[in-house]
Structure 1
Amino acid sequence: MGDLRVRSGEVELAVRVRGKGHRPTVVLVHGYPDTGAMWDEVAERLAERFRVVVYDVRGAGASSAPSDPLDYGLDVLMGDLEAVLDGVGADEPVHLVGHDWGSVQGWEAVIGDRVRRRIASFTSISGPDRRHLAQWAREAVRSGPRGVAEVVGQARRSVYIPVLMTPKVGEAAAGVLAAGFPRLMGLREGAAPRSGHPAKTLARDARNGLGLYRANVGRRASRSGGRRSGPVRAAGAAAEGRTDVPVQLIVPVKDRYGSQSLLLSARGRVDRLYVRRAPAGHWVARSHPDLVARWVAEFVEHIDGGPETASLSHARAAAEPGKDFGGDLVVVTGAGSGIGRATAHAFAAEGARVVVADIDEGAAKRTVHEIAAAGGEAHAYRVDVTDAEAMEQFADHVRDSLGVPDVVVNNAGIAMAGSLLDTSEEDWARMRAINVDGMYRGCRLFGRQMVERGEGGHIVNVSSMVAYLPNPELPAYGATKAAVLQMTECFRLDMDRYGIGVSAICPGAIDTPITGRTRFVGMAPGVDGELRERMGRAVQRRGFPPEKVARAVLRAVKQDTPVAYVAAEARLGRVLSRVSPTANRAIGRIGRRAGDRFLSGLRGRDA
């Protein structure tokens, strides 16, 4: 380990070097309002395999500040990076890792021509390039209302920026930030303050760092990044934010300051891009240093000539534009038909590898063939979710042959109608075994795998609107779906500590084969069949296909939605259950009377 000071213009930069000099060099650049000590945990882990260089940027920590409080432009910061590389004797291209404003600097380094040829790879964490940001905003606004909402949402996340840029107001805000920063790290980021971070110089650093915003936000990006070293590309490439340097994006899915959509704005603009999603907040390097160090090391070793691991291959697939689940492994139960089949297709269309599980092996294989015909990847597996041992074997098979799933959709279920008085012990046990026990096993077995992997994930449980809408004809089905909804809510709180999302989907009346398989207990065989036919025709007239539910599933995973209500009747029923439970019960009574009259008519006709 060695400490040195490097001069860049009028400032002196404090630099710390770890590891042995003959190893590949990794340079870590921090953001606002941090110092290089933010990287300590990651640097210690990387130093076992690389030479690691960390420095305090100008105005932070042990580095001096410029006399001009606005002397923080990206061209000046590129000069600082050059000075550090020269000072540590970096004759070979280095691997750059940047967080927050350190990532913004990294993008300038790999897009501009000034130091690009001195960079072998770049890992970006929570700091998009400003050109990418502008392009993302324009494209989102042009895409329609949903895109406009994304831009507005990001503007709300970034409301602090104009505050920091305003004279005097920014200085006051920096003081407030410095006072509350330790608490912020502990409560919101899961990274308790420790020696060195936050730094003792935090109040001064926060004030000096205002220059980063005031010198760069709203300024036009230079085409080349200042003085050049190495071949010059066409000016248009830099202006568009394109680079041929391999880039790894580490996207913290709980980042409070940048939406996933924005942080992924480099997709389509980098020749070799890899995307990783971390189950963490903005300061992921503090809260999950093992994960960050492992991903950086894996990426660096591959760029230096090592093999592309399966994990990196999936990260490369995730970088494809329009493939939000590219490279992800998704398990869907009950995927032979209906909502499960539509969900498997939807995930495959967005680049996921899908495990199609169903008790009907033939149906599972048909879904797999359909996905393959559309150019996707899917694997069929026959499993009975009521069989505990079979589910254990299924979960082990998926992990050992394909890896730990990124998303699990527990969809397998059955429906049954009729009075609770006519529901036998066997009927009740079967309903519970499939609808509740099957969900429980999917959550427990795959949730445990996700926790052990430590890279987050998402679990979706398919419930129903009858979970909160009392229906005298669906007591057993409604009870099991209510259990699924409550189990999901509890499990979500449990898994939050591991960065694993859990969502419930509550569809309304959906046109799926489940209606044709619904058994009406307590009915004569002829009446039972006619009721199924009538219910099927009613659902078909409603015309709500399972593909819409599948889209809601994907949206719930992307947005980490706790509960998604699908179809107007499901949303209205939820509102009534909260605002007027009495009205909900009244609707149930009206439905019961109508059902009684209908059944009386059937019995009278058959008599």
Structure 2
Amino acid sequence: MATQRVRVDDGVELAVHVSEPPGSPVAVRSAGPANSAGPANSPESARSVGDADGGNAAPVPTVVCVHGYPDNSSLWDGVVAELAGRFRVVTYDVRGAGASDRPRSRDAYLLDRLAADLAAVVDAVSPDGPVHLLAHDWGAIQTWHAVTGSWLRGRVRSFTSISGPCLDHAGHWFRDGLRRPPVWRDLVRQALHSTYIGFFQLPVVPELAIRSGLLARVLRSTDPEEPAPVTGDAVAGLNLYRANMLRRLGGPGERRADVPVQVVAPTGDAYVTVPLQSGVERWVADLRVRRVSGGHWVARAQPRRIARAAAELIDHVEGFGEARSLRRSRVNPRPAGRFAGHLVLVTGAASGIGRATALAFAAEGADIVLADIAPLTAVADEVRARGGEAFAYSVDVSGAEAMAEFAASVVAEVGVPDVVVNNAGVGVAGPVLDTSVADWSHVIDVNLWGVIHGNRLFGRLLAERGEGGHIVNVASMAARVPNAVLPAYSTTKAAVLHLTECVRAELAGHGVGASAVCPGIVRTSIAATTRFAGVDAAEQAGRRMRSDRMFARRNFAPEKVAADILRAVERDRPVVAPTAEAKVAGALARFTPGLLRAAARRPPA
């Protein structure tokens, strides 16, 4: 890394650090597998800019990273390590921080002055071409100011913002929110997160808090990984708040960005809430919003995650295609379909609820991973007819090794699914005393172990990716109703219901939701394939026929269950009961469980 000094027009000198990529030309990754969780500089997907047409390699893109308060350019060390193999990465200490000068005047920290600094750095490090911007906290605030003004007109290819809104946009967000009671909760929450801003306006007291170490203790309480700030940087940086906050929030201007913008919003940010960061579609024509798990200093704590997000936007702008995760996060122009850009995995997808769910997601813009032991050609064709991509896999969900291989193949060939629907299941009927060990093993292996495998494998992938997601486990009304007709089946579905509650609690901190779907009698083929214990073949055939007729008379279409599954994912509902009888069973199980137990009793034969 080389360091140079850039002198701006008011005499302040900025310390600028440039990491040149090794070799020339530098390998630049194509979009690669959508939603790839690998490193941003993964060599497996490297290519040289310009290779596609056989010409000379184009200049390597330059990425300029701008830090916030009370940090210095070292905030980006981990991100630089991830990006430097593919890009020319520039960091600099903003005025008042690190090795840059610390002017004493409060007006020296006005946003106009900071935007001019950024423009000077861009001109110094990339005089002949535009750059990509990546900024955090106050670095993002000043970068928003620059890209929505005239300082960088024609000099920026893309901008990724983390935990720092444009102050003018924030001012409008607060004003507009006061006129909309439904968002008052968001306003109050953000106001509570912003109390420190008022504290920083006080004379002398904030300086004393910094010099005494109180600020460092507060920062560590919200993020144990955040190092203690340099005292001089923290004191000088108070001028950022005092020079800009009140005047910008109190009299916001109309500021629009004409470059592709990606907002990376940490869901656990203790200072800047997701609604404040993400509510900017009015001001940005080409906007993406990515919610990531993590705290305010996610750039330091999860550098690979941030580098991957920034690199995907850069790759897209540089002409290497749009990763699915970018399509999923697009806000403006708004894509068609509620699940546009999503990758949805459905087990048991060949028929019934699984097939209906796959087609419903495809109709809303999703691409579908289909899994079943039955043929999937027809369903895959139907998915494609609805506009989605279809990826079919033959897999037995009951096998641990088979499921592990399946998950690895999906990630390598398609990417990490955004939604996982564990639907595959089998039916077993008959009294406990008549159900053989083999029947118990089969129904547990498919109905329970299959769901456990799906939750373990794909839940881990979603948590590690850190961009949210949802798991849907299809249980049954039978999970809540004690009965002597389907004891083995009911036992597995009750376990699935409780497993879902546990998974929901465990993955909530990663931004991953989980829903249990408990339908009643639905018109599917399960009745015609149910194994009836303790009877001969002729009796089993008769019972299957009668059960199938009953399901047909009930005539509740699997498409209605699929619609409820889509709503459950959208609204993050913990439990869904699609049919009327399932809703009644749920209410009885909650309020009058004794009545259900009494109704289930069977007199001795």
User: Above 0.5 in TM-score?
Assistant: yes
Match of 1:329 among 324, 329, 343: 343
1:199 has 2:237 as partner: no
Contact 1:164 1:171 in 2 (8 A): no
Q: Which residue of 2 aligns with 1:220?
A: 252
Contact 1:351 1:376 in 2 (8 A): yes
- Find the aligned partners of 2:178 and 2:474 in 1 and give their Cα distance: 33
- Which stretch of structure 1 is more off in the superposition, 200-209 or 131-140? 131-140
RMSD, aligned α-carbons: 4.5
Q: Which residue of 2 aligns with 1:376?
A: 388
- Find the aligned partners of 2:146 and 2:353 in 1 and give their Cα distance: 47
Contact 2:72 2:98 in 1 (8 A): yes
Cα offset, 1:280, TM superposition = 3.2
Question: Which stretches in structure 1 are left out of the alignment for 5+ residues?
Answer: 187-191, 223-238, 601-607
Taking every aligned residue pair, what percent have the same amino acid on both sides? 39
Q: Which residue of 1 aligns with 2:516?
A: 505
Q: Which residue of 2 aligns with 1:231?
A: none
Cα offset, 1:220, TM superposition = 1.9
Amino acid at match of 1:215: R
Q: Which residue of 2 aligns with 1:358?
A: 372
Q: Which residue of 1 aligns with 2:407?
A: 395
Q: What aligned pairs does 1:283-432 form with structure 2 within 5 A after superposition? A: 283-297=297-311, 299-300=313-314, 303=317, 305=318, 308=320, 312=323, 314-316=325-327, 318-319=329-330, 321-322=334-335, 325-361=339-375, 364-388=376-400, 390-392=402-404, 394-432=406-444
Q: Which residue of 1 aligns with 2:116?
A: 79
Cα offset, 1:264, TM superposition = 4.6
Structure 1 pair 383–91 and aligned structure 2 pair: CA distance change class (3 A): closer
Q: Which residue of 2 aligns with 1:587?
A: 595
- Find the aligned partners of 2:523 and 2:284 in 1 and give their Cα distance: 42
Q: What aligned pairs does 1:236-255 form with structure 2 within 5 A after superposition? A: 239=255, 241-243=256-258, 245-255=259-269
Contact 1:431 1:477 in 2 (8 A): yes
Cα offset, 1:246, TM superposition = 3.3
Cα offset, 1:150, TM superposition = 5.9
1:31 has 2:68 as partner: yes
- Which stretch of structure 1 is more off in the superposition, 290-299 or 406-415? 290-299
Structure 1 pair 435–139 and aligned structure 2 pair: CA distance change class (3 A): farther
The TM-score with structure 2 as length reference comes to: 0.74
Q: Which residue of 1 aligns with 2:239?
A: 208
- Find the aligned partners of 2:519 and 2:568 in 1 and give their Cα distance: 14
Matched residue of 1:214: which SS? helix
Cα offset, 1:588, TM superposition = 1.6
Structure 1 pair 314–88 and aligned structure 2 pair: CA distance change class (3 A): closer
Task: State how many pairs are aligned.
Answer: 552
Q: Which residue of 2 aligns with 1:228?
A: none
Task: Spell out, residue by residue over 1:354-380, the C-alpha distance to the aligned partner (whole angstroms, 9 max, x if none).
Answer: 11223332xx44443333333232234
Task: Spell out, residue by residue over 1:67-107, the C-alpha distance to the aligned partner (whole angstroms, 9 max, x if none).
Answer: 66577553333223234345657453222111133223323
Q: Which residue of 2 aligns with 1:106?
A: 143
Amino acid at match of 1:184: T
Contact 1:29 1:54 in 2 (8 A): yes
Amino acid at match of 1:18: V
- Find the aligned partners of 2:339 and 2:276 in 1 and give their Cα distance: 16
- Find the aligned partners of 2:464 and 2:157 in 1 and give their Cα distance: 32
- Find the aligned partners of 1:260 and 1:326 in 2 and give their Cα distance: 21
- Find the aligned partners of 1:272 and 1:491 in 2 and give their Cα distance: 36
- Find the aligned partners of 2:520 and 2:205 in 1 and give their Cα distance: 55
Amino acid at match of 1:386: S
Structure 1 pair 73–419 and aligned structure 2 pair: CA distance change class (3 A): farther
- Find the aligned partners of 2:206 and 2:181 in 1 and give their Cα distance: 29
Structure 1 pair 397–470 and aligned structure 2 pair: CA distance change class (3 A): same
- Find the aligned partners of 2:3 and 2:462 in 1 and give their Cα distance: 39
- Find the aligned partners of 1:324 and 1:314 in 2 and give their Cα distance: 14
1:122 has 2:137 as partner: no
Question: Which stretches in structure 2 are left out of the alignment for 5+ residues?
Answer: 22-58
Q: Which residue of 1 aligns with 2:17?
A: 17
Contact 1:505 1:565 in 2 (8 A): yes
Contact 2:519 2:561 in 1 (8 A): no
